[in-house]
């Protein structure tokens, strides 16, 4: 409670509040997602004191279709066709069991700040909902696999072909470099 009061005071007495996502100004004004700050968020919104500073990324330079960022791996303008091709390629490589099923992919560093503690629930929900999952990344320390990822590795036995978990960059390069 004290923390929220402190935040309210800052929000009320500052020239503006910057958010790193375009959704956050709206979400901060809702009771369900405002973390107790929705009233003050509504107040500062009335005075046009909310802004968005999108996390330092220029989408044209870094988006999925950016040749500059992704070179030959950039997605085509027709994302649906690109998604279908990727799923087909993953299927042909034996990475996913069905190119028609929904696909959830996590690619990133296995670190707490990336939310890896949420991956197990997301994977279960995706697979229980008829989907399939590929989780790939690397630990903060070489050859150390965090407990949350070890849980996913054990879970892959239960879900068999619908979940693949990769933890070593060398394995990922060998598997995906060939596909």
What SS3 string covers 66-86?
CHHHHHHHCCCCCHHHHHHHH
- What digits encode the pLDDT tens for the residues 21-66? 777 788 888 988 877 888 888 888 887 777 766 555 565 666 667 7
Q: H helices then E strands: how many in the chain?
A: 9, 5
Question: Which alpha helices (DSSP H) does the chain contain, by range?
Answer: 2-13, 24-27, 38-46, 59-62, 67-70, 79-92, 119-128, 147-159, 169-177
pLDDT at residue 140 in the model: 66
pLDDT at residue 48 in the model: 75
pLDDT at residue 1 in the model: 43
Query: What is the CA 107 to chain-centroid distance, rounded?
Result: 8
pLDDT at residue 179 in the model: 44
Strand order in the sheet with 103-110: 103-110, 132-139, 163-166
CA angle 126, 127, 131 (to 5 degrees): 75
Please state the pTM of the whole predicted model: 0.53
User: Which residue ranges of the chain lie beneath pLDDT 70?
Assistant: 1-7, 14, 20, 52-64, 69-70, 72-80, 140-144, 172-173, 175-179
List beta partners, residue 143: none
Residue where the block lists tokens 């989780």: 135
List beta partners, residue 138: 109
């Amino acid at each position: 409670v004290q923390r929220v009061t402190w935040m309210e005071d800052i929000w009320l007495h500052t020239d503006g509040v910057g958010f790193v996502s375009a959704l956050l100004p709206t979400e901060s004004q809702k009771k369900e997602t405002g973390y107790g700050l929705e009233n003050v968020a509504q107040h500062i919104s009335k005075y046009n004191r909310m802004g968005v500073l999108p996390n330092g990324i220029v989408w044209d330079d870094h988006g999925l279709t950016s040749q500059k960022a992704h070179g030959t791996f950039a997605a085509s303008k027709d994302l649906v066709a690109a998604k279908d091709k990727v799923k087909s390629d993953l299927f042909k490589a034996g990475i996913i069991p069905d190119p028609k099923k929904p696909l959830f992919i996590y690619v990133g560093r296995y670190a707490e700040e990336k939310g890896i503690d949420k991956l197990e629930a997301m994977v279960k929900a995706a697979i229980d909902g008829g989907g399939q999952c590929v989780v790939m990344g690397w630990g903060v320390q070489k050859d150390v696999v965090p407990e949350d990822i070890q849980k996913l590795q054990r879970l892959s036995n239960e879900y068999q072909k619908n979940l693949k978990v990769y933890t070593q960059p060398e394995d990922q390069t060998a598997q995906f470099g060939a596909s």
